[in-house]
Amino acid sequence: MRKIIVVLLFAITAVLPSNAQHDSDDFMSPFDFELFLSGNFGELRSNHFHSGIDFKTQGMVGKPVRCVADGYISRATVQAGGYGLALYVQHDNGYMTVYGHLDRFPAEVQKRIREYQYANETFAVDISLAPDELRVSRGEVLAFAGNTGYSFGPHLHFEVRDSTGNELYDPLKFYGKQIKDSRPPVASKIAIYPLEGFGVVDSSAISRVCSIKNGTIGDTLQVWGRVGFGIKALDYMDGTSNNYGVYRVELYVDDSLRFESRMDNFSFAETRLINAWADYTRYVNGGEWFLRSFIQGNNPLRAVKADDARGVINFDEVRLYKVEYRLSDYHGNSSVYRFCVRGVKKGIPPFAKEGHYLLWFLNNMLEYDAFSLDIPAGELFDNTLLEVGVSEGRYGISRCVSFGSGPIPLWHKAELSLKVDSLAVDSSKLYVKRITKKGGYSVGGKYSGGRVSADVTVLGTFEVAVDTIPPRLLPVRENRWMRNGKVVLAMSDKETAVKSFRGTIDGKFILFKYSSKNGRLELDLKEEGVSRGVHQLRVEAVDACGNIKVYEKKIKY
């Protein structure tokens, strides 16, 4: 197993900037108080890994954020969701740092942001700055921590990247010594995955989950053939009730290392590979994260390494096998979980399902009368037996098409085209809807030649739907507007989501701030320089199908 460890270390070190030293002295703390984390690097999130660490801000908005090293502000962004207000700093030491969910920018950055917003009549901003425009020094107050964007509590999202901004590193390489952590990771469940057509667990080809008690799963399972394992685990730190992702997982069978994961770095191109590593179906259906301890056919994620069998164990002897999981955090705290499985020769049922057997390394094209599906090579994470179902659509526009018994994630996307059986409305109002247990959501789409086509990132159940309903714009606590000097509207769209909005006062553009987490548009009359008197307020919202909603009102300020 020495070869696996050597390759892993090379993969980690090869991507680090050559002029940077991994020492805590490279970066100072962004805060003047003791550091605690609410989220760590590489945590499992929906369709992505957490790309940084989240520093707690003592439950408060407005804490000064200091620049961690000399450099210059290279980029500033404003988003309704995502990082909200964010700054990107290119450092002289070869790294880039990112500061997200800020409450406000420094004066010079804010000036440029506002100029851009009014010149382009937009709330969303993404501007780049040259190296000689806004230099910043180590220890200088860079901004103020907040709760903007897709954040549900005050904190600072902090990232360390390479100079290109595409490679992400664990910031604990620089701040590990400042974080108190004496608590090891804790596992709660083990999953056992017989490979369909090649293995069984307790005579069944269906995967099984066992709870961990007192460091083991209790009963000895009977296995035969090719079987993989997975684990559900969390990490913990001192002085906080938060839980975190596990930095390192090792799987041993009969004292031989068969699989290892270690989350030191990843690129944005790799982040959706979370759906190749994690058990996507269990997460979607039950909200539980299980990480597989074997590698699917198409999973080039550098954080996972395995033996020549890709971590799949071939139980082909009638005997007892010892299985051991070793979990470690960045600070070296570790826990061990041991159990046994017994090899018992059993018949392995063949593939019982019918469908299209798709190879992940080939382009797969399915064409039916009701639909076509084009899956480019490399988009599937493994060879997949795809069941296809076609039924009557609930909207009477197209047939309802389903792929598989559960959602199948893709690395990037595939193109789905659904035939329109009845065109009784304006074709611009049609879109592709993914049907789920909770109702469904739009994946977009464009009508052409009797079909509506859209890119999909997961294979599930789809049909064509129609959206002729404009967005909603409703006043929020209107009686407080003038007293607080703020106009607040609730904006939402039931079908295809709001694509754009624009506010005016007396016919001239006025900046409304928007938060996607609560669906609120907010105009600060004083901040935007609205004079005292009677004014005509107008707000227009447009959804993805071009439906328009206008809210107008005379206000006296």
| Residues 325-378 pLDDT 10s | 999 999 999 999 999 999 999 999 987 778 899 999 999 999 999 999 999 999
Helix and strand tally (H, E) in the chain?
A: 6, 45
d(Cα 282, Cα 289) in Å, to the nearest integer?
A: 7
Please, what's the b/e burial string for 69-107 (b: 16 or more CB within 10 A of its CB; e: otherwise)? bebbbbbbbbbbebbbbbbbbbbeebbbbbbbbbbebbe
Both tokens of residue 492? Answer: 């939402």
| E strand spans, 439-507 | 441-442, 446-448, 451-459, 461-466, 472-475, 486-492, 498-505
pLDDT value at residue 354: 81
Please state the length of the chain.
557
Query: Helix, strand or coil for residue 142?
Result: strand
pLDDT value at residue 406: 82
As a whole number, mean pLDDT of residues 393-417 equals 94
Q: 94 with 162: CB under 8 angstroms?
A: yes
d(Cα 515, Cα 284) in Å, to the nearest integer?
A: 26
Backbone angles phi, psi at 37, to 5 degrees: -105, 145
**At a CB cut-off of 8 Å and minimum separation 6, what does 403 contact?**
373, 386, 387, 388, 389, 459, 460, 461
Q: Which of 92-96, 178-182, 357-361, 401-405 has the lowest mean pLDDT?
A: 401-405
Tell me, what amino acid is at 265?
N
Q: What is the pLDDT of residues 166-189, one digit of tens each?
A: 999 999 999 999 999 999 999 999
d(Cα 445, Cα 456) in Å, to the nearest integer?
A: 10
Q: Has residue 497 got a pLDDT over 80?
A: yes
DSSP-assigned letter for residue 279: -
Q: Has residue 405 got a pLDDT over 70?
A: yes
Average pLDDT, the chain: 93
Tell me, what amino acid is at 524?
D
d(Cα 323, Cα 229) in Å, to the nearest integer?
A: 10
As a whole number, mean pLDDT of residues 501-516 equals 97
Q: Has residue 108 got a pLDDT over 90?
A: yes
485 CB neighbour count, 10 Å cutoff: 14
Both tokens of residue 331? Answer: 């600070």
Please name which of 461, 411, 416 lies closest in space to residue 47, comparing C-alpha atoms: 411
The pLDDT confidence band at residue 25, using thresholds 50, 70 and 90, is low
Please name which of 462, 470, 423, 421 lies closest in space to residue 444, comparing C-alpha atoms: 462
Q: How many CA atoms lie within 13 A of 395 on its CB side?
A: 25
Q: 444 with 457: CB under 8 angstroms?
A: no
513 CB neighbour count, 10 Å cutoff: 17
Backbone angles phi, psi at 186, to 5 degrees: -130, 125
Q: What is the pLDDT of residues 142-153, one digit of tens each?
A: 999 999 999 999
Q: What is the pLDDT of residues 260-311, one digit of tens each?
A: 999 999 999 999 999 999 999 999 999 999 999 999 999 999 999 999 999 9
d(Cα 185, Cα 189) in Å, to the nearest integer?
A: 13
pLDDT value at residue 20: 40
d(Cα 179, Cα 163) in Å, to the nearest integer?
A: 26
446 CB neighbour count, 10 Å cutoff: 14
* Element housing 4 (H / E): helix 2-14
pLDDT value at residue 6: 30
CA-CA-CA-CA torsion for 120, 122, 123, 129, nearest 10 degrees?
Answer: -30
* Percent over 90 (pLDDT), the chain: 91
Chain-centroid distance of CA 259 in Å reads 24
